[in-house]
Structure 1
Amino acid sequence: MNVPLSSQWIDASDEQAILEVLRSDHLSLGPRLPEFEEGLAHVAEVAHGVAVNSGTSALHLIVRSLGLKEGDEVVTTPFSFIASSNCLLFERVKPVFVDIRPDTYNIDPTRIAAAITKRTKAVLAVDAFGQPAELDAIESIARQHNLQLIEDSCESLGSEWKGRRCGGWGAAGAFAFYPNKQITTGEGGCVVTQSDDIAALCRSMRNQGRGETGEWLEHERLGYNYRISDISCALGTSQLRRLDNIIELRGEAAGRYNALLKDAPEVITQTILPDVTRMSWFVYVIRLADQFTRADRDWLIGWLADHGIQSRPYFTPIHLQPFYVRKFGYKPGDFPITEHVSARTIALPFFTMIRPEQQQEVVASLKDGLATRAREVAP
């Protein structure tokens, strides 16, 4: 049995929504755009959604809308997809990394204050794998130090921390809709915010800096072509109608993995904190126990591939990416918890419509691989 790492769920209603746009007069900047934005603002429980062509673009627009600039610093996590730090470098803002908790894989709030300097302007929290960061604690720290809070919720659409939706904390949040996400638009993202000013700036900058008047050849500020098509928005709106069902199905799939792995002492699963009042699973990532090495992890990924199971290391520490090493001089040992976790994590196949028998095959192959590796390295 071959099991892919991820697979999008596209049904007949999605196909019909796309077809209706293709038969209309508006493929871009049409009525599907505000419809999608309103739906996303509703999910985040905020006033505004500004849909764009990627989560990376959404993060970049938030950084620009807050006026962050060269010489400023933003405290964030090194255990994330690289866009959560690159969005700062786009504006020559320095990411200042803080290590993570070893159980949730999110930024450790107890370490943030020590990283704040007179140049710090914001904290950028990432909701790793769909689990909200400890957003109330982080928001409190930001307020104490007069900092902005940016929420990278690209992996946590629909999740809640203490009853409050991800994306709705702080100045603004970002969602993303790549095909492995909870919902997909092919490529896409969105800024969600309660601020009228941030929303207006982001709408302008995503559309080449055009103003609210809509004059096509008048540009009020530096902007970008970060627009998203009505085709993508129609797909996104159609998928949003199933979001509650999607979150439920993904939660059931995560629960099945937890049950299948409970008798595997070599495997550590992500701790979901009690204050997560709704978990919207993005990926299902396991961590090998401490006696395993990166070489063991990489061997096991190869073993799974040989048996038709796709898997990936998740994530590579941002501070050890070649570009960051060259630019900032980071080295192994700078963020030991991130490095220890990263060396042992594996993302298993996970998607909304994954079947129980596929998960059983994944776990059976994983356990066989662990046993085989143990025999190979035994003295």
Structure 2
Amino acid sequence: MTTLFDPTTVGAISVANRIAMAPLTRNRSPNAVPGPYAVEYYTQRAAAGLLITEATAISHQGQGYADVPGLYGADQLAAWRKVTDAVHAAGGKIVTQLWHVGRISHDSLQPGGGKPVAPSAIRAKSKTYLVNADGTGSFADTSEPRALGLDELPGIVEDFRRATKAAVGEAGFDGVEIHAANGYLIDQFLRSGSNQRTDAYGGSIENRARFLFQVVDAVVEAAGADRVGIRLSPVTPANDASDPDPQPLFEHVVKGLASRGLAYVHVIEGATGGARDFVQGEAAFDWDAFKAAYRDAGGTGAWIVNNGYTRALAQEAVASGRADLVAFGRPFIANPDLVDRLRRDLPLAEPERATMYGGGAKGYVDYPAWSDQAA
């Protein structure tokens, strides 16, 4: 029987176990450069079969929160290289999540103080994180976006391609994950609640998925399909994401992904960070049919599931074949040795909410491993 702790492969990446660390935004990268503690933070967690970094902006325009890292400057790439070298020295594997936030941003974070961009000029009912003049952080309403012109889309696709080359080349990542979830730019194109375009990128499911597939093809060209994953969140309401009929939309997406030979598909089941049985639209989402649509279309990538998984639920998912890996997010914040704790069925520490976003070492690299705590 397959267990969480058995090795496997994720595309071209051999991993020591079937536990992934999900992306976790921590807002500790001033000037979009991973901070001085990032090396320690990721290395502490290198026992995970696959580390997926915090969401990382592909361009200045793609940034939506203060002090999040990027992949578009030499200082950023040099800082990430220190992280990947340390993780590899510790025996770990690490991919970075490619991020363009779209409308989930603020004028003050955009180049020249301009408006955030989106498929349509519809303001999201959401918040972003800003740093105040005194250095403290606070949440603020997202700004009103402007609709992207057709002539701008190839440039954003090229930003994804360029960031991918930099990530697997200069920064030394084992691969990349395309962030197509949680109400950010690619997800905004997919969903009718945020996409009211009347051109080739709006209206039908095929049109709304066009931008996603163009990004995927560019990233695959840059890194090779077996080093590319994608994250999807079919029913999440995160960042004002909405669509009245997500089942056919996301089955169309995974059928299209199947032919592209990706390393993995990373699925958030339910509301991100919330109820696993969250329903968007009139009917409950059929997760088995969703995965079957991918496999029946020839998809061979690892199937990674995420959202509220306990040790028992994760074990069942892997043992039954429902998932190939399970991604844990918040538990990794306060449990740098999460893999060992799950293996030994040890209690899990709870993260301190006050230090989740922003700050320095406290609440970032000072959570003790079980063995240190016991000593």
Bin of the TM-score, shorter chain as denominator length: under 0.3
**Bigger-Rg structure (1/2):** 1
Larger proportion of helix: 1
Higher RCO (CA 8 Å, separation ≥ 6 residues): 1
Q: TM-score, normalised by structure 1?
A: 0.25
Q: TM-score, normalised by structure 2?
A: 0.26
